[in-house]
Amino acid sequence: MIIAAEIVLVLGVLAFVLAPLVIHRGQRMWTEPELEARHRSIAERKGRLYGALLELDFDRDSGKISSQDHDRMREEIMKDVLAVLAEEETIVPKAQRRPAVIEGGDRVERLIEDYKRGRRGKAEAGR
């Protein structure tokens, strides 16, 4: 009698666990809205790039890389940051932008603004 109860209990648990897999086979349980997916993608890329800038500055300050390598790598990262920010401006409507909380973000935002001002100054001086 006890063995029969154990078998029934095991079968019940298996049915409970496997039912969603069988009933909803091949269906997505949840899909992210396209705008949310774009916003998340941009925020993730910004976070990675901002972190890379902070790490690059730390590496230069700790002597791991030379100033020439730092300048070259910083220029590459800044180009990527500007591309992501431009993409954010075109894809995500201004009313729907949400600020992303990124560690060290204020410092990086100031670095980016300084970089933009420097590029604008060079472009205007070249005209």
Residue 15 corresponds to which amino acid? A
Least confident of 6-15, 98-107, 108-117: 98-107
What is the residue whose two structure tokens read 């925020």?
43
Q: pLDDT digits over 22-67, tens only?
A: 887 777 766 778 878 888 888 899 889 988 988 998 899 899 999 8
Rounded to two decimals, what is the model's pTM? 0.57
In 3D space, the residue among 101, 114, 1 whose CA is nearest the CA of residue 51 turns out to be: 101
**Average of per-residue pLDDT across 108-122:** 72
List Cα–Cα distances, 59 to 40, 56, 63, 70, in angstroms. 28, 5, 6, 8
Using one digit for the tens of pLDDT, what is the confidence trace for 55-110?
A: 998 899 899 999 899 999 999 999 998 898 888 888 866 666 655 555 555 667 77
CB 77 within 8 A of CB 115: no
What span, in angstroms and rounded, lies between the C-alpha atoms of 111 and 52?
13
Residue 111: pLDDT band by 50, 70, 90 thresholds?
confident
